[in-house]
């Protein structure tokens, strides 16, 4: 074996190791980015659902031509600001444009229209980020409607906004 063959073999090995390292780094970075987006979408989903529950009062009060308490307005605004800040940090979500529209678009003619848009987006997000949880909650929501329709209904489920607001 001559020195050229040894040097060529050594350089080939170093080059292959570098290429392998670069490929591994790219794959790892892509995987980490995907996990970050999934985590952000989950957080956005939770915040959207919180906003949806509170926004219900605006839609309901609009229907009944009643004023909405300042505490509720303040809570809705705080949640919306939180969602907006999360979107600034995570622009790569497939839901970014729809969430921005819900938060900032003044073209909705009624609170109910925006509220329904939140519901639709929550359905789509829920199917993606928490498919099993989403399916079971839909079943619970359907059965809860029956209970809420009964006279004298008192909310007892501690995870709902109705429980907290005692309505």
Polymer length of the chain: 167
Average pLDDT, the chain: 88
For the CA atoms of the chain, what is the radius of gyration?
Answer: 25
Provide the pLDDT for residue 72.
94
Cβ-based neighbour number of residue 165 at 10 Å: 14
Q: Residue for token digits 């705080």? A: 78
Is the pTM of the predicted complex or chain greater than 0.75?
A: no
Task: For 33-53, write each residue's pLDDT tens digit.
Answer: 888 899 999 999 999 999 999
* C-beta separation of 90 from 36 below 8 A: yes
23-62 burial, b for 16+ CB within 10 Å, e for fewer? eeeeeeeeeeeeeeeeebbebbbebbbbbbbbbbbbbeee
Task: For 112-135, write each residue's pLDDT tens digit.
Answer: 999 999 999 999 999 999 889 888
């Amino acid at each position: 074996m001559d020195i050229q063959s040894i040097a060529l073999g050594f350089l080939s090995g170093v080059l292959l190791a570098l290429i392998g390292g670069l490929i591994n780094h790219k794959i790892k970075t892509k995987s980490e980015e995907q996990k970050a987006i999934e985590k952000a979408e989950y957080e956005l989903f939770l915040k959207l659902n919180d906003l949806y529950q509170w926004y219900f009062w605006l839609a309901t009060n609009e229907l009944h031509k009643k004023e909405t308490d300042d505490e509720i307005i303040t809570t809705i605004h705080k949640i919306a600001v939180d969602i907006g800040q999360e979107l600034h940090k995570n622009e790569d979500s497939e839901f970014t444009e729809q969430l921005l529209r819900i938060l900032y678009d003044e073209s909705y003619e009624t609170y109910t229209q925006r509220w329904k848009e939140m519901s639709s987006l929550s359905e789509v997000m829920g199917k993606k980020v928490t498919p099993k949880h989403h399916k079971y909650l839909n079943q619970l929501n359907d059965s809860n409607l029956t209970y809420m329709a009964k006279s004298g209904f008192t909310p007892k489920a501690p995870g709902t906004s109705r429980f907290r607001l005692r309505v």
